[in-house]
Amino acid sequence: MAVLSMQAVNIIGLMNHIDEVITVLGESGVFHPDEVSNFYSNLQEFTHLQTKNSYAEPLTNLKSALNQTKRNFPMTDVSDFNPSFEELEAFSETVTAEIDALVENRAAAETQLSETKNNLSVTEHFAGIDVEIIKVAQTKFVEARFGRLPKDSLQKLEAYKNDDFVDFAVCNEDKTHVWGVYFAPKDKTEEIDKIFEGLYFEQTDLVGDNETPHQKIEEYKRELPALEAKVKEEQEKLDKYLDENSEQITRYLSKLEELYIYSGIRTKAMQHNNSFILVGWIPEQNMVQLRKRLKKIKSVELDFSDAKDEIDKSPPVKLKNPFFAKPFEFYTEMYGVPKYNEIDPTSFVAITYIIMFGIMFADLGQGLCLSIVGILMWKLRKMPIGKILFPCGLSSMVFGTLFGSVFGFEDWLNPMFELFGFKGKPIEVMDNTNTIIFAAIGLGVFLLVVAMFLNVYTSFRQKNYGRALFGTSGVAGIVFYGSLVFGLLAEIFLGFHVMTLPYILGLVVFPFLLIFFSEPLGDLVNGEKDWQPESWGGYIVEKIFESIEILLGYVTNTMSFLRVGAFVLVHAGMMMVVFTLAGEPGVGYVIVVVVGNVIVMVLEALLVAIQVLRLEFYEMFSRFYSGEGRVFEPVKINAE
């Protein structure tokens, strides 16, 4: 449970060498720039070297043009390619304009083809009208409306059967509409249009001059091959242009991308006369190599300091975990990365999450399926959750074996247990419900105490002695909670009388009083001068109400772990329902069992994953972890 050791670096040099410095820092791929004002307070005579990234506009324009081509241009190494900004800008403008023109021509051809296909589709619905459309449109006394009606609206026309002017001549129909025409005398057009508008009539403008619909259809069909060829021709022109200029586009695009990213370093630099200052962070393991490269640049002065000595500047954090815990950084980062001087909880999460998931999803067969699904999710889709599901599935297999459950069958493993001298499986879930529930609470108590010890360790590490000693998750909290749990357990279940007056006063009341006065006591041991509250009376009243919340917090945090045992019972209960529905052995039995297992696996995997994560975040993280650190984000180019 650690973070990568960091070094703060201060770089001072002459302005005519800043581009060399920025190139070295960018190429290193390990430099996280920071604000100079974060390190220096007196900057009145300094100015920002650059406030705007000048490479943003040409890069954005070029990328936008290339995106229209749907062609991929991967990053490449351009360390030996050094055009001026003017050359980069001119190239971006030229290529953007040429690609835009080619894309526009292709789009125009595609639009013409699309319109023709649409006109053909609409006109085909009126193929039976053997009259020129223009003649219909130019009639002197009536107006014609071509279009379509929903089929249910056609039935509503029956309400107007006594009106000689409201009629709809059907020419064709599809699944949802009827296509046709209605006529209206010019003095009644507005009235009849409103009637059809209420029937959801959609008017269609038929294209054609001195042609019948049938003639127009034939004309469209003759036009389509030429239009399709035009689209293909324009696409070929675009493809040819991209093929001929691919190498040059890739180099200029990569250089613009590189300089755009490096310019992010430049915007952090500050200038005074002919000198500049740059500050940032690098991993300690890269310090020697970076120092060598920067020392080769004339006028550059370097100063490195350990991040442990720069805590007030909030060093960025890069998590460093063993292979088994690495996938669970996904959950840690979801909550928030630790501060530099805060404990990294990833390994703790990995161990506790895997164990609790396995207990709650305990089934040998279903656990195997879950592991396979996890592998496929990672290998095929690169989903981070896949690498988490794999060990969780293995844990489910282990606890499934202990509980003797294989796809819900509770007796398949009995022969194996008999080989080891057992009469049956070690744990019969439905016969030991109380034991499982108490074991879940016991697991919760243990994990909460571990979380409290982690808080004590972190607090001492951060030199917050008040929180370490007197906090609800500090030494006082551990003594209070542990003594109370042990005392009640001994009295109720073991029959030992330990809750004596000295025990209660010394191990329950006294530590709770320390928690009650944790704020002034904490400020006192932390060396704060104003450690006393403004009003002791007000403080005590406020703390009385807070104490109720604290006590409820201990209870609810502990009781939350009941869900661990509850899900063990829920799994067994759900599988009993599946087998009850399956009935007698047969084809239907097999189908119901298989489908039931799939449903149970999907449902339980989702619920268990969420519930275990909830226990991690709300019951344990809240006791020792803030997650208020900032992520280490070095400036780097990902060349392919």
**What digits encode the pLDDT tens for the residues 318-360?**
999 998 899 999 999 999 999 998 999 999 999 999 999 999 9
Helix ranges (H only) for 267-383 are: 287-295, 329-335, 346-360, 364-381
Q: How many Å apart are CA 223 and CA 563, to the nearest integer?
A: 69
What confidence category does residue 495 fall into, taking pLDDT thresholds of 50, 70 and 90?
Answer: confident
What confidence category does residue 264 fall into, taking pLDDT thresholds of 50, 70 and 90?
Answer: confident
Q: Which residues contact 52 (CB under 8 A, 6 or more apart)?
A: 267
3-state secondary structure (DSSP) of residue 320? strand
**130-151 pLDDT, tens per residue?**
777 777 777 778 888 888 999 8
What confidence category does residue 98 fall into, taking pLDDT thresholds of 50, 70 and 90?
Answer: very high
CATH of the domain spanning 2-50+267-316, picked from 3.40.50.150, 3.40.50.12500, 3.20.20.210, 3.30.70.240: 3.30.70.240
What Rg value do the Cα atoms of the chain yield, rounded? 38
Exposure string over 198-225, b if 16+ CB within 10 A, otherwise e: ebebeebebbbeebbbeebbebbeebee
pLDDT higher than 70, residue 306: yes
Q: Which residues contact 50 (CB under 8 A, 6 or more apart)?
A: 263, 266, 267, 269
What is the identity of the amino acid at 111? T
pLDDT at 256: 92
Beta strands across the sheet bearing 142-150: 169-173, 177-185, 142-150, 202-203
pLDDT higher than 70, residue 458: yes
CATH fold of 131-211 reads Alpha-Beta Plaits (3.30.70)
Beta strands 270-272 and 47-48, pairing class: antiparallel
Mean pLDDT for 111-120 is 91
Domains 2-50+267-316 and 131-211 share a fold: yes
Q: How many Å apart are CA 216 and CA 224, to the nearest integer?
A: 12
pLDDT at 557: 92
* Contact (Cβ atoms closer than 8 angstroms) between residue 375 and residue 412: no
Of 154-163, 345-354, 381-390, 476-485, the range with the lowest mean pLDDT is: 154-163
Look up tokens 């650059």; give the residue.
50
- The long-range contacts involving 287-290, CB below 8 angstroms and separated by at least 24 positions, are 287/7, 287/9, 289/28, 290/9, 290/24, 290/25, 290/28, 290/30, 290/31
pLDDT higher than 50, residue 615: yes
Looking at the DSSP assignment, which residues form a beta bridge with residue 146?
Answer: 181
What confidence category does residue 1 fall into, taking pLDDT thresholds of 50, 70 and 90?
Answer: low
Residue ranges per domain, the chain? Answer: 2-50+267-316, 52-120+229-263, 131-211, 322-430+562-624
What is the identity of the amino acid at 118? N
Q: How many Å apart are CA 427 and CA 40, to the nearest integer?
A: 64
Mean pLDDT for 154-168 is 83
pLDDT at 640: 46
Among 551, 508, 449, 466, which Cα is nearest to 543's?
551
